[in-house]
Amino acid sequence: MAAPGVRGASTQEPSPLAHESHGPGHGSDLVLLHGVGLDRSMWQRCLPALATRHRVTVVDLRGHGASPAAAAGVTVGDLAGDVAALLDGPTHLVGFSLGALVAQQLAVAHPESVASLTLVSSVADRSAQERSAVAGRRRLAAEDFAVSAQAAVDRWIGPAWRAREPALTEAVLGTLLRTDRASYLACYDVFATADAQLWPQLPRITAPTLAVTGSEDPGSTPEMSRRLAARIPGARATVVPGARHLLPLERPDDLTATILAHTGQGASPP
């Protein structure tokens, strides 16, 4: 299915990314980018509200879902270039975790294509301790992928939420376990390092930017969202109380209200 915004001949090479489009033909374009080891299905709870106001494209990043594999050495620029080939004109970008880093790269490299930027559960300018922690998770993923995937789900989904929605917990774990191992490790390397590469370039971002995370997210912390807001000109940060990492699944109503307010298509966020 063609991405929204592709309304005629383009000089860009076609994107190899698997993607699908939702929403009215008259809405402005919005693209949703997922996190490492996940796929476009993670946005399922946000789509109904977003697609009433926007033409929404959900994308499988390289190495994920139905998109082509990612080779060792892939860069955040490579991942962003794949997405850029889907865009034709100013587009609202919403990136989650790894997707937020890709969105930042797009805003730096293709400012004319970015109408607004929403960075959900994004890392930023990791400390030495934070870099060491993510390197340890990368080593565990290489040594025992199943244990690593379970540990990720345990970080993301607290006991109370797991008890309420055991089927969702199993679905998230299943998505992680289905990810091609080599692609996962290649993209995890991007996730582990791209924030340091992007940090010097963030003041170049001109798109209206919002950074949002959960108050209980141990990896993409509220402090990181505040760092992003201080680094990107005119950016704002907001924190969702009581939430962990998976805001699109844990708190979709809060997140979609916040996104729509930022894109100018909804009421003010709570």
pLDDT of residue 11: 39
**Strands 19-22 vs 54-59: parallel, antiparallel or unpaired:** antiparallel
What is the tens place of the pLDDT at every residue in 81-128? 999 999 989 999 999 999 999 999 999 999 999 999 999 999 999 999
Asked if the model's pLDDT at residue 220 lies above 70, the reply is yes
Whole-prediction pTM:
0.92
How far apart (Å, rounded) are the C-alpha atoms in residues 182 and 187? Answer: 9
Residue 184 pLDDT level (bands cut at 50, 70, 90): very high
Residue 211 pLDDT level (bands cut at 50, 70, 90): very high
pLDDT of residue 14: 62
Helices 76-84, 98-109: axis angle to 10 degrees equals: 70
CB count in 10 Å sphere of residue 47: 20
Mean pLDDT, rounded, for 10-24: 76
CB count in 10 Å sphere of residue 66: 11
Asked if the model's pLDDT at residue 153 lies above 60, the reply is yes
What is the tens place of the pLDDT at every residue in 164-176? 999 999 999 999 9
- C-alpha atoms less than 13 angstroms from C-alpha of 263 in its C-beta half-sphere: 29
Q: Where are the beta strands (DSSP E) in 79-201?
A: 91-96, 114-120
pLDDT of residue 27: 80
Share of the chain above pLDDT 70, in %: 93
Tokens representing 162?
Answer: 């797991």
pLDDT of residue 13: 61
pLDDT of residue 265: 74
Residue 10 pLDDT level (bands cut at 50, 70, 90): very low
Which residues have C-beta within 8 Å of that of residue 166, sequence separation ≥ 6?
none
DSSP letter for 40, please.
Answer: G
Share of the chain above pLDDT 90, in %: 89
Q: What are the sequence ranges of the domains in the chain?
A: 19-262
Residue carrying structure tokens 């990314």: 17
Asked if the model's pLDDT at residue 261 lies above 80, the reply is yes
Amino acid symbol at 100: A
Asked if the model's pLDDT at residue 135 lies above 60, the reply is yes
**The length of the chain, given as a count of residues:** 270
Which residues have C-beta within 8 Å of that of residue 192, sequence separation ≥ 6?
131, 134, 135, 138
Residue 67 and residue 17 in contact, taking contact as beta carbons nearer than 8 Å: yes
Which of these, 33, 41, 17, 61, lies nearest to 174 by C-alpha position?
41
pLDDT of residue 83: 97
Mean pLDDT, rounded, for 18-44: 93
How high is the mean pLDDT of the chain?
Answer: 92
Domain 19-262 has CATH 3.40.50.300: no
pLDDT of residue 9: 29
Strand partners, 120: 96, 212
Residue 248 pLDDT level (bands cut at 50, 70, 90): very high
